[in-house]
Structure 1
Amino acid sequence: MGFFRTYRSLFLLLSGILAGSIAGSIFGERIAVIKPIGDIFLNLLFTAVIPLVFFAISSAIAHIDAGKKLGSLLGIMSLVFLATILISAFLTIIAVWVFPIHQEITLTHATNITQPGNWGDQLTRLFTVNEFYELLSRHNMLPFIIFSGLVGFATMRTGKLGLAFRDFLYSGNEVMKDLLNLIMKAGPIGLGAYFAYQVGTIGPKLFETYSQALGLYYGFGIFYFIVGFTAYAFVAGGIPGIKIFWKNNIIPSLTAVGTGSSIATIPANLEAVKKMNVPQDIGNVVVPLGATLHKDGSSISSIIKMAVVFGMYGKGFDSPSVILMALGVTVIVSIVEGGIPNGGYVGEMLVMSIYGLPIDALPPLMIIGTLVDPLATILNATGDNVAAMMVTRFMNKRGT
């Protein structure tokens, strides 16, 4: 019963999608009459996510203790996190090439995914806007995230003078998290209605695309969990490192499945890394920060979601510019998702914003994210343990 309580929202969401699929199959294009229900849900989600991202990111940075000089530990940890996220993303891109998700489905009229102009123009549009009000648009998520981070950093630097504003950011974060949870209670109805419309107007081809994506995610995700983590453990401690990692990673893995949360797995991870010979001062920094910033499972799902959307619109996912952009987006998504309830939806909106995708692309991204959540949680949570082992190894090599 505990397992069903943990994943209650997931089961309700899947039930709504299943009911919508059946209705769409039965009524066909006549089901389009309920599409406004799905549109209302998505509009509420788009509206709430902007203030949520601001308060979540700025509050998290504002509450960092500027007096703690973590020095080389913080630097090595950041490099390990970045390296494993990029490795998982690049290997996923290779998997997408080997097992292509090429089903082309026209959700709306043709859209231009790639941004026009030279690299300088693209970077300017990607990271900045020239008017403050433009930050509040979902089409400019990345500049908004950067602005939120700068506000948090400025609040941290002001110390006692910024205490009242820091409390405001924390309070706003709590309010907006609860607002998103309230909106997501309508998820089974909203996504069910939207999925009914898609099935009724597009047909069975939709299921083929989702099955390809899920098969690729679970197949590659399990491979990465076993082979990738084993390789990282070998880097951290050779053959003994592999043995000690897998011997003590079972309980965190089960905890991640049972709780469905990287944050809730922190206590099990902290206990596990002690047995993996990770010093307490390293484990106490790497594991909690990793739960927020280090998400290999989200990295893999981010690439697959992008490949699915590109396939749906008949776009290639193989040019150097697309690959570099996808790797950059994946790193940002993996960081942004942490600490935000239903954080995957924020990442999906970021993908839509950067590639200029229409609103119709969001439901497929959300559905895939929901279906891969159990394995993604295991990868996100337990990846912090092997990362802590590698940080320990590199710290020892530096003699720090």
Structure 2
Amino acid sequence: MKKIGLLPRLIIGILGGILIGFQFPEWIGNTLYTFTHIFGEFLGYIVPLIIVSFIVPGIADLGKKAGRLLAGTAGLAYASTITAGIIAFFISIFIIPLIVTEGSVADAEAPGLSPIIELEIPAIMGVMTALVTAFIFGLGINYIRHEKAYTLLYQGMNEFREIIVLTIKKIIIPLLPLHIAGIFADMAASGEAFHILGVFGQVFILIILMHFGYIFIQYSIASSRTGVNPFKAIKNMIPAYLTALGTMSSAATIPVTHRSTKQNQVSDETTDFVIPLSATIHLAGSTITLVACSVAVLIIGDQTPQFMEFLPFILLLGVTMVAAPGVPGGAVMAALGLLSSILGFTEAQTGLMIALYMAQDGFGTACNITGDGAIALIVDSFVNKKKKAKA
């Protein structure tokens, strides 16, 4: 029997939760919401561990690659990710309020569900503490990579990451539909579920359009540097886009991205270096999704997103999500701490973010890796220019 994919299970969870909230006795809804409450506490506990386990090996891995090529690629990738987030914020803040009418804003006075048992699972450390710790250990391991202790520390952090990734794949991802079901059961009980689903459907379309628009912007910039036809270059990347859409993993798509990039006449040297690196650090599509979803969730909650609040969120997203592309849904998992610590998201708002992000994870990943091809074109233009100058 073929295994049901995550997206269908999320849809089943949403519909099942709404049905329970509307039609089932309150004690059944409270029982389901008890799981959602405990699972939310577990997510809060594991978020700092996700940050440390993703960022430390990601920074340590950069130590294997040295020189201006690394600095140029990393700089372009980060600039692209941040630019994507800023553009997404201003488009979202302009369009989403037109989607979210007064009737779609949650009624704060409406009664919802309540957990039968409340359980607190305190995190080992705060989100910002985890970020600082990750940078210290990542840079420290990178610095001592020529010493004996490097191998032990590097292997230890990679094994720690494997444990966290295993936890995400075997526990968090399989239980997410049930968690989402509890959140939507609570929304159904308070009468806001259908309003929110209607808004999210339109936000989903907006996000996809922003992905396509930003891909075109990236290849237009690459065209100005290289003279390549942007439409032809994007056409050559379609196999990589479709592969990422299915795998929902930039890392798993690297072989196809590599082949598609070379079809755009990027040199072997640049392709071999830029594509694997960009698959880890270039997250424009994921950032667009996270920013747009965050704006939507805040507006639905009758809050007004402010750019100066979102700017630190966007800047840190580009760092926090390092190495997350190897895990389907890893980007939103890595961002959970920032959502709560910087944007002040509640447990219910975090659940909405997870649901919306996971529903389109493949599209965000596809935007990420398609943009990697544009980064490779730009980097290659600088490399070839230097080669010609030396000759």
C-alpha contact (below 8 Å) 2:275/2:376 kept by paired residues: yes
Rounded Cα–Cα distance in structure 2 between residues aligned with 1:347 and 1:192 = 21
Per-residue CA deviation, residues 224-276 of structure 1 (Å, 9 max, x unaligned), is 33x324423423423x3425413421211121123221111100111122221
Letter in 1 for 2:254: I
User: Could you say which residue in structure 1 is the equivalent of 2:161?
Assistant: 173
SS at match of 1:78: helix
* TM alignment of 1:223-234, pairs within 5 A: 223-225=213-215, 227-234=216-223
How far did residue 368 of structure 1 move?
1.0
How far did residue 63 of structure 1 move?
4.1
C-alpha contact (below 8 Å) 2:59/2:139 kept by paired residues: yes
User: Could you say which residue in structure 1 is the equivalent of 2:117?
Assistant: none
* TM alignment of 1:57-72, pairs within 5 A: 57-66=55-64, 68-69=65-66, 71-72=67-68
Rounded Cα–Cα distance in structure 2 between residues aligned with 1:107 and 1:295 = 35
User: Could you say which residue in structure 1 is the equivalent of 2:113?
Assistant: none
Letter in 2 for 1:104: V
How far did residue 105 of structure 1 move?
2.2
Rounded Cα–Cα distance in structure 1 between residues aligned with 2:124 and 2:313 = 23
Percent identity between the aligned chains? 22
Per-residue CA deviation, residues 98-150 of structure 1 (Å, 9 max, x unaligned), is 312445325699xxxxxxxxxxxxxxxxxxxxxxxx9834xx31331231122
User: Could you say which residue in structure 1 is the equivalent of 2:186?
Assistant: 197
C-alpha contact (below 8 Å) 2:297/2:349 kept by paired residues: yes
C-alpha contact (below 8 Å) 2:280/2:322 kept by paired residues: yes
C-alpha contact (below 8 Å) 1:217/1:300 kept by paired residues: yes
Letter in 2 for 1:98: F
Per-residue CA deviation, residues 24-51 of structure 1 (Å, 9 max, x unaligned), is 2324866344311111222222223332
Residue ranges of structure 1 left out of the alignment (5+ in a row): 110-133
| 2:131 matches 1:145 | yes
Distance change (3 Å), C-alpha of 1:108 and 1:10: farther
Per-residue CA deviation, residues 268-291 of structure 1 (Å, 9 max, x unaligned), is 111122221212221112111111
Per-residue CA deviation, residues 42-68 of structure 1 (Å, 9 max, x unaligned), is 2222223332332232233334445x4
C-alpha contact (below 8 Å) 1:29/1:201 kept by paired residues: no
Select which of 49, 62, 81 maps to 2:47.
49
User: Could you say which residue in structure 2 is the equivalent of 1:123?
Assistant: none
Rounded Cα–Cα distance in structure 2 between residues aligned with 1:216 and 1:29 = 36
C-alpha contact (below 8 Å) 2:55/2:321 kept by paired residues: no
C-alpha contact (below 8 Å) 1:234/1:241 kept by paired residues: yes
User: Could you say which residue in structure 1 is the equivalent of 2:204?
Assistant: 214
Distance change (3 Å), C-alpha of 1:285 and 1:206: same
C-alpha contact (below 8 Å) 2:54/2:323 kept by paired residues: no
SS at match of 2:351: helix
Rounded Cα–Cα distance in structure 2 between residues aligned with 1:272 and 1:309 = 36
Distance change (3 Å), C-alpha of 1:286 and 1:294: same
Rounded Cα–Cα distance in structure 2 between residues aligned with 1:49 and 1:236 = 40
Distance change (3 Å), C-alpha of 1:28 and 1:330: farther
Distance change (3 Å), C-alpha of 1:62 and 1:354: same
Per-residue CA deviation, residues 180-216 of structure 1 (Å, 9 max, x unaligned), is 2222222222221222112221423222332232132
C-alpha contact (below 8 Å) 2:246/2:362 kept by paired residues: no
User: Could you say which residue in structure 2 is the equivalent of 1:115?
Assistant: none
Per-residue CA deviation, residues 56-101 of structure 1 (Å, 9 max, x unaligned), is 32233334445x43x2212221232123223322221232133124
| 2:315 matches 1:328 | yes
TM-score (norm 1): 0.82
User: Could you say which residue in structure 1 is the equivalent of 2:148?
Assistant: 160
Range moving further from structure 2, 167-176 or 326-335: 326-335
How far did residue 297 of structure 1 move?
0.9
Letter in 2 for 1:22: L
C-alpha contact (below 8 Å) 2:50/2:333 kept by paired residues: no
Range moving further from structure 2, 173-182 or 285-294: 173-182
SS at match of 1:355: coil
Select which of 58, 61, 69 maps to 1:73.
69
User: Could you say which residue in structure 1 is the equivalent of 2:272?
Assistant: 284
Letter in 2 for 1:82: Y
The CA RMSD over aligned residues, in Å, is 2.8
Rounded Cα–Cα distance in structure 2 between residues aligned with 1:321 and 1:51 = 27
Distance change (3 Å), C-alpha of 1:51 and 1:39: same
SS at match of 2:251: coil
Distance change (3 Å), C-alpha of 1:83 and 1:358: same
Rounded Cα–Cα distance in structure 2 between residues aligned with 1:202 and 1:82 = 41
Rounded Cα–Cα distance in structure 1 between residues aligned with 2:158 and 2:307 = 41
TM-score (norm 2): 0.84
Rounded Cα–Cα distance in structure 1 between residues aligned with 2:351 and 2:197 = 13
Rounded Cα–Cα distance in structure 2 between residues aligned with 1:348 and 1:213 = 20
C-alpha contact (below 8 Å) 2:78/2:281 kept by paired residues: no
